[in-house]
């Protein structure tokens, strides 16, 4: 089937692909054409319209590429957004464009929170009092109010070496999880084994999870060793918290989903996600989420649901 591209739209494919270096440009061009025509076929349209083309682009580009898409799709809108981003120090507290999205699709059944449950919160933002930290704080408040045993760990305060890939953890019947000697092996693995509920909080840096959490999660890889004699107990649950500045509330969902899949690989089931987005404002948006009581209320409710189902 030969598809007709609406006048001027095929040129946009080329213009859009200018963002890519030559080594990957053709791959992206092929993907865009293939996906646009697939949508046209599905919708029984012989023409790839402008609407189909942009829908296709948004479908296949990672959310973090959105500013690059807007350079072609809506250059004026992008310019205005960049200006407003530069003026973020002038935003009045309480009027920031910050937004929360809660992912849980479970019915709101709130049983009592069993006292004594162990809640471990891991915060990978080194910005204490930042948005990730404030959301974690609110979740932990639920635990404190209900007799849970809560602990917050700032990963940046810990000595966590990068995995060296020695694969000592892949030897049969491993008793020692990891051959490295640092805070992971002295205390953190034990805390992970002991917790009932985990809060994993990280900000988006350069369109992906920040480096501290990536380094930390690399060190979980020993838990996937099939010969491991001391498996991570099952039935542990997690809530994932992620924060970013870009106002599109779904922009980095793919990054969050990767974290959820990784946690599941390690037998920790994520039951809820809180993404806090559009974190612009004074001090580069530091902790602006605390200026929005309705957001904190959503967080508190999510905390009750999470902890009452542990």
Ligand X SMILES: Cc1cc2nc3c(=O)[nH]c(=O)nc-3n(C[C@H](O)[C@H](O)[C@H](O)COP(=O)(O)O)c2cc1C
CA angle, residues 167, 168, 172, in degrees to nearest 5: 105
Q: Which residues bind ligand X (CB under 6 A)?
A: 125, 127, 130-133, 203-207, 243-246, 279, 285-286
Strands 197-205 and 208-209: antiparallel
Tokens, residue 133? 């930290």
C-beta nearest to ligand X: residue:
130
Complex with ligand X: residue 231 or 284, whichever CB lies closer: 284
Complex with ligand X: residue 77 or 115, whichever CB lies closer: 77
Complex with ligand X: residue 122 or 222, whichever CB lies closer: 122
Cβ 300 vs Cβ 146: under 8 Å: no
Tokens, residue 148? 């849970």
Rounded to whole angstroms, the Cα distance separating 137 from 140 reads 5
Q: How far is the CB of 249 from ligand X (least distance, A)?
A: 11
Q: 191 by DSSP, 3-state: which?
A: helix
Rounded to whole angstroms, the Cα distance separating 255 from 253 reads 5
Q: Residue 119 has what DSSP assignment? A: E
Rounded to whole angstroms, the Cα distance separating 236 from 250 reads 26
Q: How far is the CB of 5 from ligand X (least distance, A)?
A: 32
Closest by CA position to 134, among listed 309, 308, 288: 288
Q: 281 by DSSP, 3-state: which?
A: coil
Complex with ligand X: residue 82 or 110, whichever CB lies closer: 82
Complex with ligand X: residue 117 or 286, whichever CB lies closer: 286
Complex with ligand X: residue 146 or 243, whichever CB lies closer: 243
Q: Write down the residue that tokens 């390690």 correspond to.
A: 266
């Amino acid at each position: 089937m030969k598809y007709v591209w609406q006048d001027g739209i095929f040129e946009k494919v080329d213009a859009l692909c200018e963002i890519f270096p030559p080594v990957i440009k053709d791959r992206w061009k092929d993907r865009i054409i293939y996906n646009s025509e697939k949508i046209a076929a599905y919708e029984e349209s012989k023409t790839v319209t402008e609407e189909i083309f942009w829908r296709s682009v948004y479908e296949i580009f990672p959310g973090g590429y959105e500013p690059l898409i807007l350079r072609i799709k809506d250059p004026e809108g992008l310019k205005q957004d960049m200006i407003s981003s530069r003026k973020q120090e002038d935003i009045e507290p309480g009027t920031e464009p910050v937004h929360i999205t809660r992912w849980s699709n479970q019915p709101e059944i709130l049983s009592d929170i069993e006292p004594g449950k162990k809640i471990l919160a891991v915060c990978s933002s080194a910005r204490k009092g930042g948005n990730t930290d404030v959301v974690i704080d609110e979740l932990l408040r639920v635990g404190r109010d209900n007799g849970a045993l809560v602990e917050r760990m700032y990963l940046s305060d810990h000595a966590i070496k990068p995995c060296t890939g020695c694969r000592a953890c892949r030897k049969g019947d491993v008793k020692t999880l990891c051959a490295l000697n640092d805070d992971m092996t002295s205390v953190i693995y034990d805390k992970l084994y002991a917790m009932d509920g985990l809060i994993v909080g990280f900000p988006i840096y350069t369109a992906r999870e920040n480096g501290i959490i990536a380094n930390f999660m690399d060190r979980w890889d020993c838990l996937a060793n099939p010969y491991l004699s001391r498996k991570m107990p099952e039935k542990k649950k997690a809530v994932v918290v992620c924060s970013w500045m870009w106002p599109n509330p779904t922009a980095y969902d793919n990054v969050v989903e990767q974290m959820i899949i990784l946690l599941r690989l390690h037998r920790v089931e994520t039951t809820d996600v809180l993404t806090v987005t559009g974190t612009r404002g004074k001090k580069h948006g530091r902790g602006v989420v605390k200026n929005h009581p309705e957001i904190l209320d959503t967080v508190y409710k999510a905390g009750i649901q999470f902890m009452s189902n542990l």
